[in-house]
Structure 1
Amino acid sequence: MTRSSRSIIVAVKGAVLHQGKILIVRRAAADVIGAGSWECPGGKIDFGEGLEAALEREIAEETGLSVTVGNVLYAASFLTDPGRQVVIITYLCRSEDIHVLLSEEHTAYKWCTRQELQMLLPPGILAEFERSGVFALEELL
Structure 2
Amino acid sequence: MTTIRTAARAIIRHEGRLLVIRYRDERGDRYALPGGGQRHREGMEAALIREVAEETGASIRVGPLRFVRECIAGPGDRALPPEFHQVELFFECTLERPFSTDTRGQELDPDQEGVEWRGEEELRQLCFFPRALLDAFERGQEFGYLGVV
TM-score (ref. length: structure 2): 0.73
Question: Is the alpha carbon distance of 1:107 and 1:23 closer, same or farther for their aligned partners in structure 2, counting shifts above 3 Å?
Answer: same
Cα separation, 2, equivalents of 1:50 and 1:36: 31
Question: Is the alpha carbon distance of 1:107 and 1:20 closer, same or farther for their aligned partners in structure 2, counting shifts above 3 Å?
Answer: same
Conservation of the 8 A alpha-carbon contact between 2:29 and 2:127: no
Q: CA RMSD in A?
A: 2.4
Conservation of the 8 A alpha-carbon contact between 2:10 and 2:52: yes
Equivalent residue number for residue 122 of structure 2: 116
SS, match of residue 37 in structure 1: strand
Q: Point out the more displaced range, 48-57 or 111-120.
A: 111-120
In structure 1, list runs of 5 or more residues that go unmatched: none
* Higher relative strand content: 2
Equivalent residue number for residue 24 of structure 1: 20
Using the TM superposition, give the Cα deviation of residue 78 of structure 1 relative to its aligned residue in structure 2, in angstroms: 1.9
Equivalent residue number for residue 93 of structure 1: 93
Cα separation, 2, equivalents of 1:74 and 1:60: 21
In structure 2, list runs of 5 or more residues that go unmatched: 74-80, 142-149
Alpha-carbon displacement from aligned partner over 1:24-79 (angstroms, at most 9, x marks no partner): 1112428xxx9742000001011111111110110001000011111112101121
Cα separation, 2, equivalents of 1:116 and 1:78: 23
Equivalent residue number for residue 8 of structure 1: 4
Equivalent residue number for residue 60 of structure 2: 67
Equivalent residue number for residue 113 of structure 2: 107
SS, match of residue 7 in structure 1: coil
Conservation of the 8 A alpha-carbon contact between 1:18 and 1:98: no
Using the TM superposition, give the Cα deviation of residue 82 of structure 1 relative to its aligned residue in structure 2, in angstroms: 3.7
One-letter identity of the residue aligned with 2:114: A
One-letter identity of the residue aligned with 1:19: E
Cα separation, 1, equivalents of 2:46 and 2:28: 26
SS, match of residue 54 in structure 1: helix
Equivalent pairs: percent with the same residue? 26
- Provide the aligned length of Structure 1 versus Structure 2: 128
Question: Is the alpha carbon distance of 1:135 and 1:93 closer, same or farther for their aligned partners in structure 2, counting shifts above 3 Å?
Answer: farther
